[in-house]
A and B are shown apart, each in its own frame.
Chain A
């Protein structure tokens, strides 16, 4: 027998009561009994039906709805963890037989499960984002710290030419503070048309990087040369799947200071020019006199002799220049052959004196020697130390005006032996005294007075200090003159 729902039971009861009442009434209408006596059975049936229905409802409430109410109450009290745990497969006792309630609870449970899963995913995403945000903040701080430590000025510009990043070196060079700037347009902060052209050029160009050499000066300082590299960042580097229409997302400018290289290039160029000049001068003399001889311009044998001597001396001069260059190169490369022997310093100085005497005579200089009467023994390579002495003397002769004096001295100083060359030349400033031993360095005012390569003193310094562990010193006063002194260990005295 099929089960009948409470509504049906109620309907049947009320229909039965109505039928009983009707039959009673009809019976009463045909009999002598009062109507109410005939209605009583019907009313009783109806009342019984009503009671039955009520009892049924109460029983149902007791069986199902109370648990459901308790269930909902417990749901309302649960926290997220308990709720998620409870969702898996739990049923409500007694409700599983009631399709309406169990279906409803199934729906509720499914919805709660779904929302719970979503919340879980969102929670995970939130946590992941939080981690990423922290990492990003840490990375940003790290990058800022690294950039601050980089000496090279660095600027980053977005696609609208707005400055988005500048390290401390850049702020110092261009004299601004990005955080305090109201208008961070690069055009306003770095007023350099050449730089802006480089920016535009880099963006237009298909390659991502362009470089150009430029000069900038920080404040009142001297301008310095920089190699500026502009690298364009585009979305291609950021997108996993770049397209043809990937746009630029900014440009990074790095300024590498190349002033030292430029200075070296300039000095090298000056050196090459000087060497060229020095080499061409004796060559000019040789060529000229050879031509005179060839054209028969020597009137007599005496003239021929003179011409040949000039050719010879100029050839010697050229040879000395080449030797100076090669010696410096060899010493710097550490491949020079050294043969040290104990010998008399004064003998060596006499030889140097003889070599430079003609040049002093030509300039009408008084070349004097005040050598110690003692035997000054030194352990030296004769050729190299003689060359050093010649270089000091030649230098003095070159930079001393006509008619003045150059003096060569030797003496014992404590446990060392010293020889010095004193001149009455133009003298050296403090800065020149610091730099006069640098290769290629030539004192500015001296350039107008005498041609030279700037190699004599550096070579002498190499010979004295690198080869013989001695010292080369200078004392000088502008407008008065200079004294260059070489000190060597005393190798002992012999009677």
Chain B
């Protein structure tokens, strides 16, 4: 199964460049332009790695990761953070607390990012097989309703 990666950055070209790199490497890639959009994607699609920018509108990278850590199904999702801030130290301390595996300064090399992501995903099983259980955990009410609808449709058929 292909490894999955979610790329999140409000800069379209940066996301696009990383997307091309990972797709060429055989990853299933999804992209988001801010933390809220990424959160919505995560409700139904759990990647093997999340690569997110720090500064984004609506919900920034640290806010997104805090939500992940409060969610049982996602609290151990590996995360790499990109930042254009000159002084990464202030983010490193928070990143350590949130279990972020690495803070990568911009401008970054897509090639090096790929290497780091591959190192991380090699150490764990793919999440692509556990999509249904994650979806149920993420939105219990909605998933249960969807399941009932599906069962009803099957029964009708």
Q: Which positions in A face B, CB cutoff 8 Å?
A: 272-273, 276-277, 280-281, 283-289, 291-292, 295, 297, 310, 314, 362, 448-451
Contacts and interface: CB of A to CB of B under 8 A. Distances in A.
B106 interface: yes
A440 to B, nearest CB: 16
B118 interface: no
A287 B109 contact: yes
A291 B109 CA distance: 7
Contacts of B12: 362
Given A292-B17, A295-B111, A284 B57 contact: no
A284 B108 contact: yes
A281 B21 contact: no
Interface in B87-106: 87, 106
B57 A273 contact: no
Contacts of B16: 310
A451 B55 contact: yes
A285 B86 contact: no
Given A277-B85, A284-B84, A286-B107, 8 more contacts: A273-B87, A277-B55, A280-B107, A283-B106, A284-B11, A285-B17, A291-B111, A292-B21
Given A281-B106, A448-B57, A448-B58, A288 B18 contact: yes
A273 B66 CA distance: 24
Interface residues of B, number: 25
Most interface-central of B13, B106, B108 (chain A CB within 10 A): B13
B20 interface: yes
A281 B108 CA distance: 10
B24 A297 contact: yes
The 3 A-B pairs with the shortest beta carbon distances in the complex, nearest first, are: A288-B17, A284-B107, A280-B84
Contacts of A283: 106-107
A434 to B, nearest CB: 25
Contact of A289 (B11, B17, B60, B85): B17
Query: Chain A's interface: helix, strand, loop or mixed, by majority?
Result: helix
A450 B20 CA distance: 25
Contacts of A362: 12
B41 interface: no
B109 A450 contact: no
B76 to A, nearest CB: 28
B10 A451 contact: yes
A428 to B, nearest CB: 18
Nearest to A313: B13
Contacts of A292: 17, 20-21, 110
A288 B84 contact: no
Nearest to B12: A362
Contacts of B55: 277, 451
B14 interface: yes
A24 B13 CA distance: 166
A310 B14 CA distance: 10
B48 to A, nearest CB: 21
A285 B107 CA distance: 8
Contacts of A272: 86
A288 B17 CA distance: 6
Contact of B13 (A277, A289, A449, A450): A289
Contact of B84 (A277, A286, A450): A277
Nearest to B82: A284
Interface in B40-86: 55, 57-58, 60, 84-86
A297 B110 CA distance: 11
B57 A449 contact: yes
Given A292-B21, A297-B21, A281 B57 contact: no
Given A288-B13, A289-B17, A451-B10, A281 B84 contact: yes
A420 B36 CA distance: 33
Contacts of B84: 276-277, 280-281, 284
